[in-house]
């Protein structure tokens, strides 16, 4: 399709073209055709002709989707192109628009709503100077006995001008309510300058005196049908967001509470009341806010009846109301000491909601709504001044004690048969719910302190050691869950009940997997405590190792052992043999899934790291021997689908082990690694390096057969990458061999994993003289091979393009001396980077932008970089402006801004020249921007050489202009 402004079509022909485009958009199965139609229709809406054809599209003979597009176009023109109209045309537009609103009062509903939004947009443009009281005027215009007003001046719009048939009073009422509803919504969604927003807010708030009585009359009238009352409730929600004082609408809010008695209005009334009570501005009217507490408390009896009868909908709605009031205004209500009894009653009402009978989420859904309230209340109490804080701690202590009982009861699992019948989704919701309860118990601990742990311990001891010992397993599990919740986040090192808890754990009679899981997780939560009290490990480790052999306890037992190995590694030497033996048994016995096996290997890595250095290598070789043998057997086989998962699994085991096995536990992390002197020749090699050197031939043998399989190659690279990240400079002896192997791999079958591993090696070893040569040679080989790939374009290898750009960004950052070599073609790299900026993949664009961001600071230091910038810089600027102007998604704009910012800081003179040259073309980068707008963009951009955020804003605004989406908000006239 041709651009709208260039078609030369008459208005009638243009309407037909629009209808054909809509037909193509909605019904053409070809996505390219749909996208083309979408782009053309967007341009059509932004064109001057849209002021005219939108009315024709609203004709009574048009399809609903065509009418909807006409109404949407009208809204777009009014909200974003208001400046096209002269002031004397505004009254005519207002008249014609209101006439069409009345004509569509009987539907289609989607068209009516869009026309109402357009009229609301028009009102926001005219308020307050040209239309001081839009609401009052609309109320008068839409009364059944009032004629539609006539405009004084002709509007530029064309189309049917015949008067609409008089809609019935009921329809007029619904139209009026729709207008009153969308008006504040349109205000909230509009982009407005701060001063203009304040002006409009004040003008609209002044109209509440007209709106409120009308809404009350309609809501109270027995003659008002249900749809009208529902629309009244929705309308109130919108106006509440404008900051209307609660005192001015208190009567209407109380009417909403009365509407809760109507089953048809219950849901809408709940939504409205919650919206009103959730407004922080209500706190300005403390008297009115306090007066609503008794109204909410009046729902307590109905709440209890609904909960007892299993009426989940009613329970849920009343619970939302109580929480909205109690949570949003907790601090204000606590500060009003004269309301302490009312607020305490409200808190107890919320406590009842927390303890709603039934199992969440199967037989109740309300209790989860209350959990954040308890944190808010605790936080507000603890933030009060000391005297008042002590008062409220004494007042609410008993509430929080009962809250613990309620939370533990709600955390109970359902009976096993019932729980087994739950759906997977229900079980996942219950798991998340227990996590929220766990967080809430942590907040309760802030209120009750050590008293909470003592209470839990006494109850647990009574159940485990009691005479009958016939307690339900759910009771024991819930108490352990309480301990675990607190120990996970609170320092329990000084608690005097933890030793007793450790003593109780082996005496628990475990009859279900769910209880066994919680026992394991409880032990894991005490790992830090065990590190300070290693004498207690002897009681705990046998339980963990027994659980390790049970597939049903896979996740809990493996994660617990890993935590113990990490936190207590320096105290595990007496138990190392048993841990390694059991771990080896379960690994060889395929007891656990692959992911748990990886966790287990990480735990073993922590354990081996703590052994005496001279013992690590022997233990490591013994532990890995069966897996290496298995890998050798697989390497001798011809590649087949059945052997591939086993190869990847064993390589994954090695990667996981080498992630945590480090005999120098205090080495800096990769992110903070700094160049270190090379290891003295006489120093023994790290055990991981020794093992890698021993299996290198085996790995090369595997690669020779699986080199065309990206997953196997990625698994091999993962072994070395994890080792590099963990050992840092200790990995040095492997660098020459690994560099040679990576070069061979990549030249045979290029893969991004080889580039990522090379990037890690550049980061750590490029600055060391000993390894400079092999790493540089590797970079040369990879660069040459990659450039050969991309001579045909990057579309088939986006992952390689991404990793390739990241590699060279790292080189520019860490070791730019690499580019002094004549074997690294900086010009080709630069052109590749420009090409990658045009890729559809966001990751590739991000990496290419990073490459240029790191390149330009070297503009003056490296002759090769300076030469290519001079020769190809204009092409880069042109590419960036094309992307900003609409060829790339707006979400990528910040990446392009980073490149422009780097150019502006390092070669501003060249950037200024290239901007001037490229922007001289009237159609570049978009036909929607003028020469003046482009000059303003260029000047603003060149001024910002230090403020990165400001450059992003300048580029973003220019991008919106180029796309016709500037959305500058409503005019201020």
> What value, to the nearest 5°, has the Cα angle with vertex 943 and ends 940 and 948?
90
Q: What is the reported pLDDT for 232?
A: 94
Question: Using CA atoms, how far apart are residues 612 and 718, in angstroms rounded to an integer?
Answer: 27
**Rounded CA gap, 345 and 156, in Å?**
62
Distance between CA 623 and CA 606 in Å, rounded?
Answer: 14
Q: Residue 259 burial by CB count (10 A; 0-12/13-18/19+): exposed, middle or buried?
A: buried
**CA 557, CA 518: separation in Å to the nearest integer?**
10
pLDDT at 652: 97
Per the structure block, which two tokens stand in for 615? 């013992």
Going by C-beta distance under 8 Å and a sequence separation of 6 or more, which residues neighbour residue 439? 371, 375, 485
> What pTM, to 2 d.p., does this model score?
0.80
Give the tokens for residue 97.
């628009």
Task: Give CA angle at 913 (912, 917), nearest 5°.
Answer: 120
| 118: exposed, middle or buried (Cβ count in 10 Å: 0-12, 13-18, 19+) | buried
Hey, is 783 helix, strand or coil? helix
Distance CA 131, CA 204 (A): 11
Q: Give residue 12's pLDDT.
A: 76
What are the helix (H) ranges across 411-525?
416-420, 424-448, 450-465, 473-489, 498-504, 513-525
| 384 three-class SS | coil
Residue 94: C-alpha distances to residues 656, 752, 968 (Å): 69, 61, 22
CA distance 398 to 392: 11
Q: Distance between CA atoms of 267 and 560, rounded to whole angstroms?
A: 46
Task: Check residue 797 and give its pLDDT.
Answer: 87
pLDDT value of position 145: 46
Alpha helices, DSSP H only, in 142-168? none
Q: Most distant CA pair in the chain: distance in Å? A: 103
> What is the length of the chain?
973
Q: How far apart are CA 547 and CA 560, in angstroms?
A: 10
| Tens digits of residue pLDDT in 800-812 | 999 999 999 999 9
CB 136 within 8 A of CB 210: yes
DSSP letter, residue 922: T
Identify the segments of the chain with pLDDT beneath 70: 1-11, 143-166, 468-470, 665-684, 793-794, 965-973
Asked if residues 857 and 906 have their Cβ atoms less than 8 Å apart, the reply is yes
At 678 the pLDDT is: 47
Q: How far apart are CA 833 and CA 839, in angstroms?
A: 10
User: Would you say 200 and 192 are in contact if contact means Cβ atoms under 8 Å apart?
Assistant: yes
């Amino acid at each position: 399709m041709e651009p709208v402004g260039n078609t030369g079509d008459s208005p009638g022909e243009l309407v037909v073209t629009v209808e054909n485009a809509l037909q193509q958009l909605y019904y053409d199965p070809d996505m390219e055709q749909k996208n083309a139609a979408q782009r053309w229709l967007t341009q059509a809406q932004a064109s001057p002709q849209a002021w005219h054809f939108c009315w024709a599209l609203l004709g009574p003979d048009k399809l609903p989707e065509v009418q909807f597009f006409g109404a949407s176009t009208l809204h777009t023109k009014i909200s974003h192109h208001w400046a096209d109209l002269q002031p004397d045309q505004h009254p005519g537009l207002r008249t014609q628009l209101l006439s069409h609103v009345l004509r569509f009062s009987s539907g289609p509903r989607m068209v009516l709503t869009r026309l109402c939004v357009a009229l609301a947009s028009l009102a926001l443009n005219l308020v307050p100077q040209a239309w001081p009281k839009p609401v009052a005027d609309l109320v008068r215009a839409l009364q059944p006995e009032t004629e539609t007003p006539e405009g004084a001046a002709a509007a530029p719009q064309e189309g049917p001008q015949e008067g609409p048939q008089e809609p019935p009073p009921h329809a007029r009422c619904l139209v009026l309510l729709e207008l009153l509803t969308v008006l504040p919504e349109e205000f909230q969604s509009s982009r407005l300058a701060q001063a203009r927003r304040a002006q409009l807010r004040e003008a609209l708030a002044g109209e509440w005196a007209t709106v409120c009585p009308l809404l009350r009359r309609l809501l109270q009238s027995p003659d008002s049908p249900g749809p009208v009352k529902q629309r009244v409730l929705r309308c109130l929600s919108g106006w509440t967001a404008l900051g209307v004082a609660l005192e001015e609408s208190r009567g209407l809010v109380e009417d909403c509470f009365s509407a809760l008695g109507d089953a048809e209005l219950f849901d809408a009334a709940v939504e409205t009341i919650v919206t009103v009570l959730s407004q922080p501005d209500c706190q300005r009217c403390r008297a009115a806010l306090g007066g609503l507490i008794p109204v909410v408390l009046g729902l307590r009896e109905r709440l209890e009846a609904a909960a007892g009868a299993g009426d989940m909908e009613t329970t849920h709605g009343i619970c939302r109301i109580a929480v909205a009031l109690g949570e949003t205004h907790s601090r204000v209500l606590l500060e009003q000491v004269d309301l302490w009894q009312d607020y305490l009653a409200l808190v107890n009402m919320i406590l009842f909601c927390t303890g709603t009978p039934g199992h969440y989420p199967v037989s109740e859904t309300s209790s989860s709504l209350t959990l954040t309230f308890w944190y808010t209340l605790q936080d507000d109490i603890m933030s009060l001044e000391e005297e008042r804080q002590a008062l409220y701690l004494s007042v609410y202590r008993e509430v929080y004690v009962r809250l613990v009982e309620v939370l533990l009861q709600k955390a109970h699992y359902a009976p096993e048969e019932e729980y087994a019948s739950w759906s997977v989704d229900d079980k996942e919701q219950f798991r998340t719910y227990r996590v929220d309860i766990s967080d809430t118990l942590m907040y309760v601990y802030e209120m009750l302190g050590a008293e909470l742990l003592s209470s839990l311990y006494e109850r647990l001891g009574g159940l485990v050691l009691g005479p009958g010992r016939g307690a339900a397993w759910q009771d024991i599990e819930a108490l352990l869950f309480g301990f675990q919740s607190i120990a996970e986040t609170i320092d329990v090192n000084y608690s005097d009940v933890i030793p007793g808890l450790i003593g109780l754990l082996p005496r628990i009679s475990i009859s279900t997997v769910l209880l066994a899981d919680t026992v394991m997780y409880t032990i894991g939560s005490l790992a830090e405590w065990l590190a300070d009290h290693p004498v207690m490990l002897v009681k705990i480790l046998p339980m963990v190792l027994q659980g390790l052999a049970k597939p049903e306890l896979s996740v809990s037992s493996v994660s617990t052992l890993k935590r113990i190995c990490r936190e207590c590694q320096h105290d595990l030497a007496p138990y190392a043999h048993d841990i390694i033996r059991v771990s080896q048994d379960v690994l060889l016995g395929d007891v656990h899934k692959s992911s748990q096996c990886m966790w287990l290997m990480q735990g073993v890595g922590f354990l081996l790291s703590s052994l005496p250095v001279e013992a690590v290598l022997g233990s490591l070789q013994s532990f890995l021997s069966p897996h290496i043998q298995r890998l050798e057997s697989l390497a001798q086989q011809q590649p087949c689908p059945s052997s591939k998962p086993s190869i990847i699994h064993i390589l994954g085991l090695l990667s996981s082990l080498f992630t945590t096995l480090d005999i120098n536990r205090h080495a800096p992390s990769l992110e903070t690694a700094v160049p270190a002197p090379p290891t003295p020749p006489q120093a023994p090699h790290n055990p991981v390096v020794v093992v890698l050197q021993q299996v290198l031939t085996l790995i090369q043998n595997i690669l020779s057969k699986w080199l065309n399989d990206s997953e196997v190659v990625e698994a091999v690279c993962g072994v070395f990458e994890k080792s590099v990240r963990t050992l840092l400079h200790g990995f040095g002896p492997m660098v020459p061999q690994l560099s040679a192997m990576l070069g061979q791999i990549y030249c045979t079958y290029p893969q991004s994993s080889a580039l990522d591993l090379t990037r890690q090696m550049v980061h750590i070893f490029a600055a060391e003289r000993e390894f400079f040569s092999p790493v540089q040679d590797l970079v040369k080989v990879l660069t040459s091979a990659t450039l050969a790939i991309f001579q045909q374009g990057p579309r088939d290898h986006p992952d390689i393009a991404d990793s390739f750009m990241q590699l060279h960004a790292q080189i520019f950052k860490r070791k730019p001396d690499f580019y002094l070599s004549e074997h690294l073609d900086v010009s080709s790299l630069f052109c590749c980077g420009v090409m990658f900026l045009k890729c559809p993949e966001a990751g590739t664009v991000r990496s290419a932008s990073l490459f240029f961001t790191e390149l330009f600071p070297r503009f003056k230091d490296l002759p090769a970089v300076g030469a290519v910038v001079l020769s190809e810089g204009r092409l880069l600027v042109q590419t960036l402006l094309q992307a900003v102007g609409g060829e790339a998604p707006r979400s990528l704009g910040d990446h392009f801004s980073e490149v422009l910012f780097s150019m502006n800081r390092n070669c501003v003179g060249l950037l200024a020249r290239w901007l001037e040259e490229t922007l001289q073309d009237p159609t570049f980068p978009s036909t929607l921007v003028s020469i003046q707008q482009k000059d303003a963009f260029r000047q603003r951009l060149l001024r910002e050489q230090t403020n990165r955020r400001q450059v992003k804003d300048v580029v973003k605004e220019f991008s919106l202009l180029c796309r016709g989406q500037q959305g500058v908000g409503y005019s201020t006239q």
